[in-house]
């Protein structure tokens, strides 16, 4: 009898996987994303959140509130990049950093970028709650101005962190009211006295980040079409942006006869069509060209346009081919201006090389997905992300989740609670694997 009791009271231990130890609440993430969406210049479901506006500042406060509730230590740099840190046991190692952006282009949706911030806070909170002890510190961040809306420059925060931004260039950027980045940053409590100091403060010293991983919605239809759960990103396409202006002399829409006109609006219209033509001429589906800004002045129905301003975005996964398209567009702008007798300027806003994702991170993401029984697809990112610049200073990877119909940059952007929960879970396991820390007792009592 004695013997039997001893046998039955002995605890039996079994191994449980790290995946089972983590509890990720997808609905909570969606609720938080929904609350974040309310900080918008347009009524939901549309979301518009422009850098350093009151809604952007309220979104920032909310993100910091969530970081604090998750037990993270908050730090902000002069550019307005926000970090929340879960300290690791080995201070000689760099961190495993994750994050994305919370700014939103006009009339966007509520998942682009925000998932990679709010979802990452949930991932770190879950790891903390599960008793995971990181070796490399785990950090989540919100980048300043990934979208180019206010200063016509994308990925401002990550460009600064990676040293890809000069004082001269940043100071040349003014918003539509003539406000500079430094003035805008100082007005909301970030900033510095000089551009040099501003950029120095954001610059990441070598060895500070060992890995960077970004969780994002796909923004394209491939995962959904192929019924795959997780996208393992292999590379990020190379984006370029041009600003083109045509100037004519304008005139009266009734009195000025057609042969006497030099209509800047028509020059712009021809160039927009040329962008489409040159992009299609590569014969590759990976080449894309968009004229997303087209403004004419004076903008009166009875006035011949005197001025046309175009914002042109050209991308490709092949950087050399992308550059050829950019050159063709420049040549067309010149030819159209000469033929139509208008003056023109072309400004290259950015022409960034593509980024290759780190293979160890790709493996870690694929293994995390496998542990959770999720299917994966290796794919390129056709959208750009802060990862494009983080890849210059740290091994970088991205995790995609499906979004409905591939819609993004529009109010009906949507990802399901299930896909969000799965993406956050994969992110958490990937970060734990890259951190090299330990789980509490790899055994549990039966
Ligand atoms: C990012 O928002 C992009 O335009 O790719
Ligand atoms: Mn975007
Ligand atoms: Mn984004």
By DSSP bridging, strand 209-217 and strand 396-401 are: parallel
Q: What tokens appear for 264 in the block? A: 């800047």
Domain end among 351, 379, 413: 351
Cβ 383 under 6 angstroms from ligand 1: yes
315, 351 contact by CB (below 8 A) = no
Residue 293 Cα distances to 243, 245, 309, angstroms: 9, 11, 7
Residue where a domain terminates, one of 351, 368, 393: 351
Do 214 and 295 lie in one domain? The reply is no
Q: Could you list the residue range(s) of the whole structural domain that residue 225 is in?
A: 2-237+354-445
Tell me, yes or no, whether 213 and 248 share the same domain. no
The pLDDT tens digits for 106-149 are 999 999 999 999 999 999 999 999 999 999 999 999 999 999 99
CA of 262 to the centre of ligand 2 (A): 36
Enumerate residues 6+ apart whose C-beta is below 8 A from 215. Answer: 98, 100, 115, 116, 119, 120, 123, 398, 399, 401, 423, 424, 426, 427
- Per-residue pLDDT, 226: 98
Same domain, 60 and 90: yes
How remote is the CA of residue 352 from the centroid of ligand 1, in Å? Answer: 13
Burial 318-355 (b: 16+ CB within 10 A, else e): beebbbebbebbeebbeebbeebebebebeebbebebb
The ligand placed nearest to the CA atom of residue 115 is: 3
Q: Which atom of ligand 1 is nearest to the CA of 385?
A: 1
Same domain, 71 and 109: yes
How far away, in angstroms, is 131 Cα from ligand 2 center?
34
Q: Which pLDDT score is estimated for 90?
A: 98
408/387 Cα distance (integer angstroms):
18
* pTM recorded for the entire structure: 0.92
Closest atom of ligand 1 relative to the 409 alpha carbon:
2
Q: Are residues 153 and 213 in the same domain?
A: yes
Q: Which residue has the tokens 């979208």?
A: 147
Which two three-digit tokens encode residue 389? Answer: 């610049």
Same domain, 160 and 306: no
Contacts of 84 (CB under 8 A, 6+ apart): 64, 67, 70, 72, 73, 74, 121, 124, 139, 140, 141
Last residue of a domain, one of 333, 351, 369: 351
CATH of the domain at 283: 3.30.70.360
Do 374 and 439 lie in one domain? The reply is yes
352 touches ligand 1 (CB under 6 Å) = no
433 lines ligand 1 (CB under 6 A): no
Same-domain status, 141 and 171: yes
Ligand 1 centroid to residue 327 C-alpha, Å: 22
Query: Do 145 and 20 reside in the same domain of the chain?
Result: yes
96 CB near ligand 1 (under 6 Å)? no
Query: Which atom of ligand 1 approaches the CA of 313 most closely?
Result: 4
pLDDT of residue 2: 44
- Looking at residue 11, its pLDDT comes to 38
In CATH, what number is assigned to the domain containing residue 174? 3.40.630.10
Q: Do 284 and 273 form a contact (C-beta atoms < 8 A)?
A: no
Q: How many domains does the chain have?
A: 2
CB neighbour list of residue 32: distance below 8 Å, 6 or more residues apart: 66, 118, 122
CB 424 within 8 A of CB 117: no
How do the pLDDT tens digits run along the chain, 446 residues long? 444 444 443 434 445 677 788 999 999 999 999 999 999 999 999 999 999 999 999 999 999 999 999 999 999 999 999 999 999 999 999 999 999 999 999 999 999 999 999 999 999 999 999 999 999 999 999 999 999 999 999 999 999 999 999 999 999 999 999 999 999 999 999 999 999 999 999 999 989 999 999 999 999 999 999 999 999 999 999 999 999 999 999 999 999 999 999 999 999 999 999 999 999 999 999 999 999 999 999 999 999 999 999 999 999 999 999 999 999 999 999 999 999 999 999 999 999 999 999 999 999 999 999 999 999 999 999 999 999 999 999 999 999 999 999 999 999 999 999 999 999 999 999 999 999 999 997 544 33
Indicate if 139 and 260 belong to the same structural domain: no
Q: Ligand 1 pocket: which of 108, 113, 219 to mutate (most atoms <8 Å of CB)? A: 219
DSSP character at residue 174: B
* Mutate-to-test residue for ligand 1 from 106, 115, 148, 154, highest number of ligand atoms within 8 A of CB: 154
Q: Which of 409, 410, 413 to mutate to test the pocket of ligand 1 (most atoms within 8 A of CB)?
A: 409
Please indicate, yes or no, whether residues 172 and 225 belong to a single structural domain of this protein.
yes
Question: Do 375 and 342 fall within a single domain?
Answer: no
pLDDT at residue number 144: 98
Alpha helices in 219-308 (DSSP H): 222-225, 264-281
């Amino acid at each position: 009898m004695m013997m039997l009791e001893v046998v039955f009271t002995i605890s039996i231990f079994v191994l449980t996987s790290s995946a089972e130890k983590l509890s990720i609440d997808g609905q909570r993430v969606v609720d938080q994303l929904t609350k974040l969406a309310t900080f918008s210049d347009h009524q939901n479901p549309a979301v518009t959140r422009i850098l350093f506006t009151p809604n952007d500042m309220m979104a920032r406060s909310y993100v910091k509130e969530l970081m604090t509730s998750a037990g993270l230590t908050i730090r902000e740099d002069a550019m307005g990049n926000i970090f929340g840190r879960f300290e690791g046991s080995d201070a000689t190692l760099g961190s495993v950093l994750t994050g994305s952006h919370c700014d939103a282009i006009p009339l966007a949706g509520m998942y682009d970028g925000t998932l990679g911030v709010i979802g990452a806070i949930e991932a770190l909170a879950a790891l903390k709650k599960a008793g995971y002890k990181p070796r490399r510190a785990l950090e989540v961040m919100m980048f300043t101005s990934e979208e180019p809306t206010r200063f016509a420059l994308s990925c401002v925060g990550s460009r600064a962190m990676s040293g890809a931004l000069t004082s001269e260039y940043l100071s040349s950027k003014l918003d539509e009211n003539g406000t500079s980045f430094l003035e805008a940053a100082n007005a909301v409590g970030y900033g510095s006295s000089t551009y040099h100091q501003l950029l120095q403060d954001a610059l990441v010293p070598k060895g500070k980040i060992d890995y960077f991983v970004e969780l994002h919605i796909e923004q394209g239809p491939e995962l959904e079409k192929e019924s795959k759960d997780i996208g393992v990103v292999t590379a990020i396409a190379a984006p370029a942006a041009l600003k083109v202006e045509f100037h004519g002399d304008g005139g009266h829409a009734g009195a000025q006869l057609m042969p006497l006109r030099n209509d800047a609006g028509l020059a712009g219209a021809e160039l927009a069509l040329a962008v489409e033509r040159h992009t299609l001429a590569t014969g590759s589906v990976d080449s894309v060209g968009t004229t997303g800004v087209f403004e004419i002045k004076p903008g009166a129905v009875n006035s011949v346009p005197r001025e046309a301003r175009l914002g042109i975005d050209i991308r490709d996964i092949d950087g050399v081919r992308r550059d050829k398209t950019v050159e063709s567009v420049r040549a067309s702008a010149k030819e159209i201006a000469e033929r139509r007798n208008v003056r023109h300027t072309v400004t290259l806003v950015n022409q960034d090389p593509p980024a290759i994702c780190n293979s160890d991170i790709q493996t870690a993401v694929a293994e995390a997905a496998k542990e959770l029984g999720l299917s994966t697809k290796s794919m390129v990112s056709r959208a750009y992300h802060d990862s494009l610049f983080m890849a210059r200073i740290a091994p970088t990877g991205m995790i995609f989740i499906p979004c409905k119909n591939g819609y993004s940059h529009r109010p009906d952007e949507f990802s399901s609670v299930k896909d969000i929960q799965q993406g956050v879970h994969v992110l958490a396991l990937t970060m734990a694997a890259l951190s090299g820390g330990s789980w509490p007792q790899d055994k549990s009592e039966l």
